[in-house]
Amino acid sequence: MVFARRIFLIAGIYGLLTLTSLYFMEGRIGQLEPPAITHPEYFYGFTGMALAWQLGFLWIARDPVRYRPFMLIAVLEKASFGIPVAALFAAGRVSGQVLTPGLIDLALGALFLVAYSRTAELSRRAAEPAAPEDGPRGF
């Protein structure tokens, strides 16, 4: 459980730090990776949704066994950016600067799967009904 807690905590903090800065970089991104952003609603919508997920990762870190089912959805969140970016890079449509965060997301998604696997036994134990106590209860 410690592994899962740490991975989701690190992912949440990392994401908050990196994604929050995007709110202040719309113009700079257009300079570094032309052309300029032409649909800011998609850019800010992506940033806001991704930022909200970082809070989800921090929530999962609080109690990984309880929130274990959400780990698989968290993997999907990471894959939904990492896989398309890798494919776009392979097609020559994005730069290595864009590939790097995509690869980080894929690595975090893989670690989320490891966390999911490592919490399986704890999740099974938590779901089992408590064994009845032996002997009469005293006062």
Model confidence, pTM: 0.85
Supply the mean pLDDT for the chain: 93
pLDDT of residue 128: 81
Residue 138: pLDDT band (50, 70, 90) is low
Q: What is the mean pLDDT of residues 22-29?
A: 93
pLDDT for 32-82, tens place per residue?
888 899 999 999 999 999 999 999 999 999 999 999 999 999 999 999 999
According to the 3-state scheme, what is the secondary structure of the chain?
CHHHHHHHHHHHHHHHHHHHHHHHCHHHHHHHCCCCCCCHHHHHHHHHHHHHHHHHHHHHHHCCCCCHHHHHHHHHHHHHHHHHHHHHHHCCCCCHHHHHHHHHHHHHHHHHHHHHHHCHHHHHHHHCCCCCCCCCCCC
